[in-house]
Structure 1
């Protein structure tokens, strides 16, 4: 089975984290989100992926290469200008001649791709859309479906009285290769707003797969922090460590002063140093080679690799990016620190 990752987005809402980094390369618990998702698909028998890139594609290609280090074949196709979701799929037509998966590269999900493929085949579907439930669907495009699990309508940002459905598109699809015949080439095309409604009009069978118990779009800084909190609290399982049973993960190479206080849930990476009387946690991730000075305090935050928090500093609900330093006795709440500049997070 082959998969196409739509990895061309600029991640505008995630800035400044994505100022110099493609959104799929943003680290989640120390590894790029795209790598995490490729690893998850590999567990379900996907042995070849195509990465559709647009924004800073060289950074993605330099990191992944041909996929050898992940034990999977990786091909690349790049857009000179954004082509939209369906346009990007059409652009990758040369790589697919059988049933294939499409995965938005900026989401975290516990979806069982093997089970979704089984469902797609069982339904004899032309396309299958993974969905997730939301409390208030009025801000989304809603999917209505029948008792057999097939789409009956797409409604864009409906008012509460205009739909009984609370299912939205989760950004994971399975298609038959005949889909390429339904997408025009050479222009921007949206799968959600153009292709799917047209398929429905033509009577194509579009199945709904509604078995995602966890789904999150890492579109904003607050959701980026939430993703780490969910992982550390065991609400989304990404690591081999069971945070429900043992809320602290501390690497064997970490150097923690005996008078420091570690409050779970938290993750402390390789070669981390934590000084005397420092407090780390709860809901805190410390990346490899990070340094935490004496009497400092870090709560609910994500500290990337090689970052430094100096003596007496307080960090709360923030992201400190790689190679950044938080000065002595400073207080930072709800910020992203990049290259010495603090950017406030909307709360």
Structure 2
């Protein structure tokens, strides 16, 4: 069996609610880092591993994915689509690929960036007759992920986001190797509500039949808004991935400072005396006006950073307007996501699509402003501002 006979199934149906407002208009795998969607890096890793048949499991806002990737010709692969109409977990998502998969296959998450080597290694092990396979990597914060317990190379348990003490830093890296037998195993899993693939794997692990495959390459995960900045920075610093974005039609004013770790897309306009630095990505058709400062930020297409504005550690979504002399303060913040409180994360703020921040306004550390918000000049925006809100002075 060659990698030509292995299909890649990429799970890209999820909504990504923890990334709101960025996922209000786009599925999580289409959130851009270094000016390209997360999913594009995953497809490229699969192609680089020698796999030429890709099945994308799509659902939420799927037209954004279909329109971007089409039939896969631009990536030298053939892309087919299957729909997960209701997002009922990763196991359920894998099951949607059953009608189009009749041989060994690898499964990847569409929002988690790995090197081609992770895919190649799983393919090699599939060729040797091993399955099911789970890639295992080491991270600094294992309790945020699926902690993997091993006995040699046998997986004994995958514990999703454990609450108790963790005695290992090894986690599920999210690249799997399966044969079609996994479909019956998923159906046999006794689960209610959402069905995670790890539930099925734990059932199989009790029979000593799941093999762990070590992986120590690049592993970039976007779970929360601040991860967009850290993953963007990692990719911007990787010249193989960041420097191939289109850079035509740029208009750069006098005395502009653009650091080496800044990625500019096409048709960007930068006014005189502006300063761009700190692993920033500036999307297509963005305007950064005179004397503005953009540092360690991701600015999506068609946004405008007004004259004298200061934007640090921020994500500015599509077609947003940051008014003259407005400030996103930057630095560490405490951010509440659902029932969880995250302290000491680097997030100056997030501004949603089509939102307008008035001149002289301030976003305090960790502010998350939704889509279509109208904020008056001089206001202070703190915490979360719901989409569609109008924020007045006084």
8 Å CA contact retained: 1:301, 1:318: yes
- SS of residue matched to 1:238: helix
Q: What's the TM-score, normalizing by structure 2?
A: 0.74
- Residue 151 of structure 1: which of 111, 130, 155 is its match? 155
Question: For the residues of structure 2 that align with 1:173 and 1:267, how far apart are their CA atoms?
Answer: 31
- SS of residue matched to 2:231: helix
1:344 aligns with 2:349: no
1:87 aligns with 2:83: no
8 Å CA contact retained: 1:52, 1:92: yes
Counting only pairs closer than 5 Å after superposition, residues 19-168 of structure 1 correspond to structure 2 as 19-110=24-115, 112-117=117-122, 120-121=125-126, 124-138=129-143, 140-147=145-152, 149-155=153-159, 157=162, 159-160=164-165, 164-168=167-171
- Per the alignment, residue 13 of structure 2 pairs with 8
Residue 251 of structure 1, CA deviation? 5.5
1:311 aligns with 2:320: no
- Per the alignment, residue 336 of structure 2 pairs with none
Question: For the residues of structure 2 that align with 1:318 and 1:47, how far apart are their CA atoms?
Answer: 39
1:325 aligns with 2:352: no
Residue 111 of structure 1, CA deviation? 5.5
- Residue 281 of structure 2: which of 267, 272, 275 is its match? 267
8 Å CA contact retained: 1:142, 1:166: yes
| CA distance 1:139–1:318, change in 2 (3 Å) | closer
Counting only pairs closer than 5 Å after superposition, residues 225-236 of structure 1 correspond to structure 2 as 225-232=229-236, 234=237
- SS of residue matched to 2:213: strand
Question: For the residues of structure 2 that align with 1:41 and 1:267, how far apart are their CA atoms?
Answer: 24
8 Å CA contact retained: 1:228, 1:302: no
| CA distance 1:93–1:308, change in 2 (3 Å) | same
RMSD: 3.2
Question: For the residues of structure 1 that align with 2:63 and 2:277, how far apart are their CA atoms?
Answer: 39
- Per the alignment, residue 169 of structure 1 pairs with 172
* CA deviation string 1:67-109 (max 9, x = no partner): 3444432222223433432222222112222221111222233
Q: What's the TM-score, normalizing by structure 1?
A: 0.82
Question: For the residues of structure 1 that align with 2:382 and 2:42, how far apart are their CA atoms?
Answer: 28
Question: For the residues of structure 2 that align with 1:29 and 1:136, how far apart are their CA atoms?
Answer: 24
- Per the alignment, residue 178 of structure 1 pairs with 181
Counting only pairs closer than 5 Å after superposition, residues 195-214 of structure 1 correspond to structure 2 as 195-214=200-219
Higher relative contact order by CA 8 Å / sep ≥ 6: 1 or 2? 1
| CA distance 1:260–1:213, change in 2 (3 Å) | closer
* CA deviation string 1:214-245 (max 9, x = no partner): 332x222222233223334x27963137xxx9
8 Å CA contact retained: 1:142, 1:158: no
Counting only pairs closer than 5 Å after superposition, residues 243-262 of structure 1 correspond to structure 2 as 246-250=260-264, 253-262=267-276
| CA distance 1:181–1:257, change in 2 (3 Å) | closer
Length, aligned pairs only:
337
8 Å CA contact retained: 1:132, 1:215: no
- SS of residue matched to 1:10: coil
* CA deviation string 1:127-149 (max 9, x = no partner): 221223234544544212234x2
- Mean CA deviation greater in 22-31 or 55-64: 55-64
Question: For the residues of structure 2 that align with 1:262 and 1:327, how far apart are their CA atoms?
Answer: 21
Question: For the residues of structure 2 that align with 1:274 and 1:141, how far apart are their CA atoms?
Answer: 41
